[in-house]
Structure 1
Amino acid sequence: MSENWVKVYTTSDAFAAEVLKQGLTEAGIPAVTINKQLSAYNIGEINVLVNKVDFDKAIEYIVENEIE
């Protein structure tokens, strides 16, 4: 992964991460998810990343939509 991507959200819920990624994308903020869970046990975390230049917009989106 390029050094231009930064983490804006971490969760253990794959569905929540995907919903956030889609919401960011629809808002014009390219986003990707990195799943670091052990697939057999769903232990670990999933990170949502955005480009460095979009970091402030992504945080604003998360706050506005009350995503925890």
Structure 2
Amino acid sequence: MSENWIKVYTTADAFAAEVLKQGLTEAGIPAVTMNKQLSAYHIGEINVLVHKADFDKAIEYIVENEID
């Protein structure tokens, strides 16, 4: 992935990652998920990434919405 994207959240829960990505997108912050899990075993992590310029806004969104 391009160096213009930065990780703002990591989880093992694919649903939680997708919900966060959708919430960020609806808040005007483009976001993508990067699934690094072994699909057969669901072991590993899923990262939510945003553009570097949106990092502070994304962290603020996560804190305001009390996302753990």
Confirm whether residue 57 of structure 1 aligns to residue 37 of structure 2. no
Runs of 4 or more, structure 1, over 3 Å off, are none
* Identical-residue share of aligned pairs (%): 90
Quote the Cα distance in structure 1 between the aligned partners of 2:42 and 2:18: 15
| Uncovered stretches (5+) of structure 2, i.e. residues with no partner | none
Quote the Cα distance in structure 1 between the aligned partners of 2:7 and 2:27: 17
| Uncovered stretches (5+) of structure 1, i.e. residues with no partner | none
The alpha carbon displacement at 1:8 in A equals: 0.1
Q: How does 1:1-68 map to 2 (within 5 A)?
A: 1-68=1-68
Quote the Cα distance in structure 2 between the aligned partners of 1:63 and 1:15: 19
When normalised by structure 2's length, the TM-score is 0.99
Quote the Cα distance in structure 1 between the aligned partners of 2:8 and 2:28: 15
Quote the Cα distance in structure 1 between the aligned partners of 2:42 and 2:50: 23
